[in-house]
Structure 1
Amino acid sequence: MAAYSVPATGDPGLQPERTALAWSRTALALAVNALLSMRAGFVAGQPLLVAVGVVLFAASGAAVAIGTVRRRQLAGQRLVITPPRGALVGVAAATLLASVGGIASIFVEGAV
């Protein structure tokens, strides 16, 4: 998927702001899942859950960085419509990891 860009119009509306807020919400959700996974890992003595939490924190930082880049792309003279493919794959992988961490933390909490 190649990047598709169009000339910026005079009033892009709220699309750039909504896109930036979506990336910020994603980063916040990943950070909360990271905290929950790390807490469950520390309480239950499961280093794998702690590692999942650390990876999710890194993914949260990456989502913040991507959100910043997307905000700049959408606010420039040319609107870059398609986000980088790596960003989409990374967010999908981080979401899957967050889901696995959340499920694992429930089972670990139930076993203790």
Structure 2
Amino acid sequence: MTDAAAPPPRDPGLQPERTALSWTRTALVVAVNALLALRTGLVQGEPWLVVVGAVLFATAGAVGAAGSVRRRELDAGSFAPAPWLMAAVAVATVASAAAGVATIAVGAP
């Protein structure tokens, strides 16, 4: 008779590293869109774009902080992110994309 052996520990490979890098890239993209919104708002005289840029900078910082926390969680072996965190980052990404589109629309002749 053989003992029921426990399943071997999960080998994540490079997946945690790729996930951590994706959080960094997302924060960087949000920050770049914040710069674009700020520049367009200041050059075109659109104060609402300056506000959007400032909010996006704060959002980029929050995404970067969440990525740092997530990296520590991945190092500790927690592979499933919190659903609210994923929803918040999705909203930040969509807001960043919308700000990018707005800067193009305002800057177009």
Q: Note whether the superposition's TM-score is higher than 0.5.
A: yes
Q: Judging by fraction of residues, say which structure has more strand.
A: 1
Pairwise CA distance, 1:47? 1.0
Pairwise CA distance, 1:86? 2.4
What do the CA deviations read for 1:46-99 (whole angstroms, capped 9, x no partner)? 1111111111111111111111111111111xx222212222121111112112
Query: Which contiguous aligned blocks of 4+ residues in structure 1 show a shift greater than 6 angstroms?
Result: none
Pairwise CA distance, 1:12? 3.5
Q: Which moved more, 1:85-94 or 1:61-70?
A: 85-94
Matches of 2:12 and 2:90, distance apart in 1: 27
Q: Looking at CA atoms only, which structure, 1 or 2, has the larger radius of gyration?
A: 2
Matches of 1:57 and 1:86, distance apart in 2: 20
Note the residue ranges of structure 2 that are not aligned, 5 or more in a row: 1-8
Matches of 2:67 and 2:92, distance apart in 1: 15
Structure 1 position 55 matched with structure 2 position 55:
yes
Matches of 2:59 and 2:82, distance apart in 1: 15
Quote the residue 2:105 is aligned against. 107
Matches of 2:83 and 2:51, distance apart in 1: 25
Quote the residue 1:85 is aligned against. 83
Q: TM-score, normalised by structure 1?
A: 0.82
Percent identity, aligned pairs only, is: 52
Q: TM-score, normalised by structure 2?
A: 0.84
CA RMSD of aligned residues (A): 1.8
Note the residue ranges of structure 1 that are not aligned, 5 or more in a row: 1-8
* Structure of higher RCO (CA pairs closer than 8 Å, 6+ residues apart): 1
Aligned residues: 102
Quote the residue 1:74 is aligned against. 74
What do the CA deviations read for 1:7-66 (whole angstroms, capped 9, x no partner)? xx4853212211110000000000000000110000111111111111111111111111
Q: Answer yes or no: is the 8 Å Cα contact 1:52–1:97 preserved in 2.
A: no
Matches of 1:94 and 1:59, distance apart in 2: 7
